[in-house]
Amino acid sequence: MAAIIQEAARRRTFAVISHPDAGKSTMTEALALHASAITEAGAVHGKSGRRGVTSDWMEMEKARGISITSAALRFEYRGHMFNLVDTPGHADFSEDTYRVLAAVDCAVMLLDAAKGMEPQTLKLFEVCRHRKIPVITFVNKWDRPGREALELLDEIQERTGLKPTPITWPIGNGGFFHGVADRAADRIVRYTRTPGGATKAIETDLSAEQAQAELGEDWERAKDEIDLLSAIGSNHDQKTFEAHESTPVLFGAALSNFGVGRLLDAMVDIAPAPTPRPDVKDDPRPLDEAFSGLVFKVQANMDPSHRDRIAFVRICSGKFERGMVLTHAATARPFATKYAQSVFGQERATIDEAFPGDVVGLVNASALRPGDTLYDGLAVEFPKIPSFAPEHFSTARVRDSSRSKQFRKGIEQLDAEGVVQVLRSDVRGDQSPVLAAVGPMQFDVVKHRMAVEFNTEIAMDRLDFGIARLTDAESAPILARQRGVEVFTRTIDGALLALFTDEWRMRGVMREYPDLILNALLADTRG
C-alpha cells in the first residue's frame, strides 16, 4: 500500500483551460516539447500555415485550427508522471471542459497578455472555485504588445477574488520581451527564440550586473515592480493556493517556448498530487483502497483503422493492472480491462499498470458513459458529472433512407459520448430525434462525424426553442398541452425535459400552473 501512496505522490494531473484563442493547444504542445515527450512542436505559425498539434487529432480540428474535443497526454518530467488534459478551444464545447475538470487536481489558466480576463476565463475560474481546483495562471503571448503586468494582476484579484502571487516577473513588454526574473528561484533568465519556435527557447542566466548592463531600463523597471510586489506581500503561499484563495502567476509565450519550462517546474514543485476523492456520500475514498476510477470522457473512432471506442478513466484509488475485472457501478456488471492504453494525443500504447492520478484509456468500452464509476473490492460510486442546460435544438434526419441503420447507430454513439444530448418523444417518433446542444458548433461536429465515421449524410432543422427545464411525470402532460412547449425524454438518463420557446413563455406557464415541477439544469459556463 505504501507503494501506491508513493506513486500517487509523483502524479500531476491537470488541465489547460482558457478563453478561446488564448493558446491552449499551443501550450499543450510546448509543455510536451519541454518535457522531451516530443522533439519538435507541431504548432508552427508562419506563412506556410499551421500544422496540427499533437492533441488535435480530428480532421475538423486540424481544418479549423481549434480544439473541439478534450485530449489526454501522458509523459514524464523530473521523475514525475504528468497526465495533461487539453480542453476544447471553443465556448460551444464548454461541457467537455467541465467533464475534464471533474478529473484533474489542478488547472493551468492561460490569459492573453493583451486581452486579460475575458468572459470564458472568468466563468472557468468560477467552475474551478466551485470544484475547489487550485489554479496556476500563465500570462501568455507576452512577446506581443499587451497590457501592463501590474494592471493584469489587479484585474485578476478584482474579478476573481484570488490573490495573484507572481512566481516569475517579465522583463520588458509590448513586444520587447527579454526574459523573466524568477522570484522563487532567485534567478534572472534571458530568453532567445529558436527558428520558428519549433524547439526549446535558449535560456541564459544573468547576474544583476549583467541584467543592468544588457537590459537597462527594462530591468530597472522590472526590479522596481518586484520590490513593490514584495512590499505588498504578493508572494506564493502553498496553503492559500491549495485552498483556492490565491493563484501563482507566471509570464511567457507558448508559441516562442518562453517560460514553458518554468511552468513545468512549477507543476512539479507546487501543483497538488492526487488526494482522496469524495464518493456520492461525501466519504473520501483512500488512495490506497482497492481500485476505483471515474469515466470522464468517451471517444470513438480516434483511430479510423480500428473503429473502436475509448473510455478515459481517471484513477481515484488503488493500483490498476491490465486484465483485472472491475465492477461497473451503474449496472453492477463486470467490466474486463484486457485492452488498456496510455494515450498521447491520437497515439496509443498498451499500459500494464497505473496509479491514482493517471488517466487510462479502456478500449471497446461500449457500456461506459461519462460520469460512470468502475471499482474493485469495496463498492464505491463517485458523483455524476452534471449535463449543461442546452440552448440550441435541432431535429436530425437521414438524407438516404437506406442508411437508417447507420443513422441510428451513429446518433446512439454520439449520445453516449456526450457530443450532444439526444431527446425523443412519442409525438416526433424515432426517425427524427431532437439534438440538444450548448452551442451550435456541436451540430457541425455531429454532421461531420456522421458523414466521416458512418458514411451517412444527415439534414438538420432548427427548432424554435431556447430554454430547457427538468420536469416530472405528473407535470409533463400539463406542459405538453401548452402552446410553445414540448416535453421530451433524454435518452442517456431517462430525464424528462420541457422545452420552451423563450423565458417569457416559461414564466407565463409557471404563473398559470404554479405547482408544476420545473428545475434548472447545470448552468452553462460560457461567456
Nearest partner of 14 among 132, 194, 136, judged by Cα = 136
DSSP characters for 60-74?
Answer: HHHHHTS--S-EEEE
Other CB atoms within 10 A of residue 217 CB: 9
DSSP characters for 15-29?
Answer: EEEESTTS-HHHHHH
Nearest partner of 178 among 192, 168, 199, judged by Cα = 192
pLDDT band at 78 (very low <50, low <70, confident <90, very high): very high
Nearest partner of 458 among 390, 408, 393, judged by Cα = 408
DSSP characters for 416-453?
Answer: HHTSSEEEE-TTT-SSSPEEEESSTHHHHHHHHHHHHH
Q: Are residues 489 and 406 in the same domain?
A: yes
Amino acid occupying residue 501: T
pLDDT band at 43 (very low <50, low <70, confident <90, very high): very low
Q: Are residues 164 and 298 in the same domain?
A: no
Contact 217, 208 (CB under 8 A): no
Q: Are residues 293 and 316 in the same domain?
A: yes
Residue ending a domain, among 341, 375, 409, is 375
User: 428 in a domain, yes or no?
Assistant: yes
Dist. CA 226–CA 484, nearest whole Å: 60
Q: Are residues 185 and 55 in the same domain?
A: yes
Q: Are residues 63 and 202 in the same domain?
A: yes
Q: Are residues 362 and 424 in the same domain?
A: no
Is the per-residue pLDDT at 286 higher than 90? yes
pLDDT band at 39 (very low <50, low <70, confident <90, very high): low
Cell of 347: 497515439
143 known ligand binder: no
What CATH number is associated with residue 441? 3.30.70.3280
Cell of 195: 527558428
Dist. CA 221–CA 90, nearest whole Å: 37
Segment 450-472 shows an average pLDDT of: 94
328 known ligand binder: no
pLDDT, the chain, mean = 88
DSSP 289: S
86 known ligand binder: yes
User: 526 in a domain, yes or no?
Assistant: no
Q: Which position has the higher pLDDT, 79 or 28? A: 79
Dist. CA 287–CA 293, nearest whole Å: 11
Give me the pLDDT at residue 301, please.
67
Is the per-residue pLDDT at 385 higher than 90? no
Nearest partner of 113 among 73, 89, 140, judged by Cα = 140
Other CB atoms within 10 A of residue 202 CB: 11
Per cent of the chain over pLDDT 90 is: 67
87 known ligand binder: yes
Q: Are residues 88 and 120 in the same domain?
A: yes
Give me the pLDDT at residue 306, please.
55
pLDDT band at 287 (very low <50, low <70, confident <90, very high): very high
Is the per-residue pLDDT at 79 higher than 70? yes
Residue ending a domain, among 375, 407, 440, is 375
Q: Are residues 240 and 283 in the same domain?
A: no
Tell me which H or E stretch contains 9: helix 2-9
Other CB atoms within 10 A of residue 36 CB: 11
Residue 476 sits at φ, ψ, to 5 deg, of: -55, -50
Dist. CA 71–CA 312, nearest whole Å: 9
Q: 309-317 and 292-300 as β-strands: parallel, antiparallel, unpaired?
A: antiparallel
Of the candidate ranges 131-140, 182-191, 223-232, 301-310, the one whose mean pLDDT is the lowest: 301-310
User: 79 in a domain, yes or no?
Assistant: yes
If one counts the domains in the chain, the total is 3
Segment 388-396 shows an average pLDDT of: 91
Dist. CA 341–CA 361, nearest whole Å: 5
3-state secondary structure of 141: coil
Which residue segment(s) compose the domain that 45 sits in? 2-98+105-269
Q: Are residues 400 and 362 in the same domain?
A: no
Contact 34, 42 (CB under 8 A): no
Amino acid occupying residue 390: P
User: 353 in a domain, yes or no?
Assistant: yes
First to last CA, the chain: 45
User: 522 in a domain, yes or no?
Assistant: no
Is the per-residue pLDDT at 439 higher than 90? no
3-state secondary structure of 380: coil
Dist. CA 45–CA 340, nearest whole Å: 35
Q: Are residues 213 and 293 in the same domain?
A: no
Per cent of the chain over pLDDT 70 is: 89
* Residue whose C-alpha cell is 412519442: 426
Reported as a single tens digit per residue, the pLDDT across 487-505 is 999 998 899 999 999 999 9
Is the per-residue pLDDT at 273 higher than 60? yes
> CA separation (Å) from 342 to 174, 374, 474?
41, 17, 47
Q: Are residues 400 and 498 in the same domain?
A: yes
Is the per-residue pLDDT at 46 higher than 50? no
Q: Are residues 177 and 35 in the same domain?
A: yes
3-state secondary structure of 179: strand
Who's near 508: CB < 8 A, 6+ residues apart? none
Contact 22, 140 (CB under 8 A): yes
User: 219 in a domain, yes or no?
Assistant: yes
> CA separation (Å) from 1 to 83, 302, 318, 388?
22, 35, 8, 38
Amino acid occupying residue 105: D
Give me the pLDDT at residue 416, please.
87
pLDDT band at 307 (very low <50, low <70, confident <90, very high): low
Dist. CA 236–CA 241, nearest whole Å: 8
308 known ligand binder: no
User: 523 in a domain, yes or no?
Assistant: no
Who's near 449: CB < 8 A, 6+ residues apart? 301, 410, 414, 419
User: 340 in a domain, yes or no?
Assistant: yes
Give me the pLDDT at residue 438, please.
87
CA angle 175, 179, 185 (to 5 degrees): 150
For 390, half-sphere exposure in the C-beta direction (CA atoms, 13 angstrom radius) is 29
What CATH number is associated with residue 299? 3.40.50.300
Residue ending a domain, among 269, 303, 334, is 269
Is the per-residue pLDDT at 57 higher than 50? no
